[in-house]
Amino acid sequence: MERKENYQTFLENFTEFIFLEDQPEKADIIFVPGNGYPQMAERAAHLWKQGYAPWILPSGRYSVVTGKFSGVLAKADIYRESYETEWEFLKNVLVKNGVEEQAVLREDQATYTYQNAIFSRKVTDGRGISVKKGIICCKAQHARRCRMYYQLLYPQAKLFICPVDVGINRENWYDSSQGIEEVLGEMERCGQQFHQIMKEITEK
């Protein structure tokens, strides 16, 4: 019985660490880290149309693992154009969902999440956009890592995580092998990658 209770406690701890969610507030920009799912950009478009921010910045070239855009992972019947980059795909989703093209900023070089944050900061600096508040639309299981990276690059900003459930969420992740793999993989990547970030910062 004690072992089962401890197991449940570990699950709850992992869940609280990975799955973050905030109520959005009016912000300076909405960030959409690169991916092949349209739901995050759809959520960003909805927030933009509600007046939460004047700009949306989707970010991404393609996965560093595959070396190419891996294709549309949901709603391919709606978003069926040919896309070279994650940014091109996400921009198309945003425009199809009512976002004005001039409100969509461009970052199409990032190949992993930390680069999404790094290159997004270069874009906002280049456009003279002061980010005091930002909204991040990401996959539910990607929330902690997104907050970590974007907060590092925007240390003075208040960031609001507005995640989207694309099949894995805080209620079901431990019920499937895919969910366990993805969530515990996020735990591992947070530790490994933050270890590298700490080394980079302390060695400066």
Helix H, strand E, coil C: the string for 136-173 is ECCEHHHHHHHHHHHHHHCCCCEEEECCECCCCCCCCH
Average pLDDT (158-166) is 98
Distance CA 93, CA 78 (A): 9
- Range name among 67-76, 103-112, 143-152 with the lowest pLDDT average: 67-76
pLDDT for 204 beyond 80: no
Position 6, amino acid: N
Q: How confident is the model at residue 196 (pLDDT cuts 50, 70, 90)?
A: confident
Asked whether residue 5 carries a pLDDT value surpassing 80, the answer given is no
Domains, the chain, in order of start with CATH, read 22-202 (3.40.50.620)
> Alpha carbon of 156 to those of 25, 44, 151, 153, 195: distances in Å?
16, 22, 8, 9, 22
- Give the rounded distance of the alpha carbon of 100 from its chain centre: 21
Average pLDDT score, the chain: 94
Query: pLDDT tens, 88-119?
Result: 999 999 999 999 999 999 999 999 999 999 99
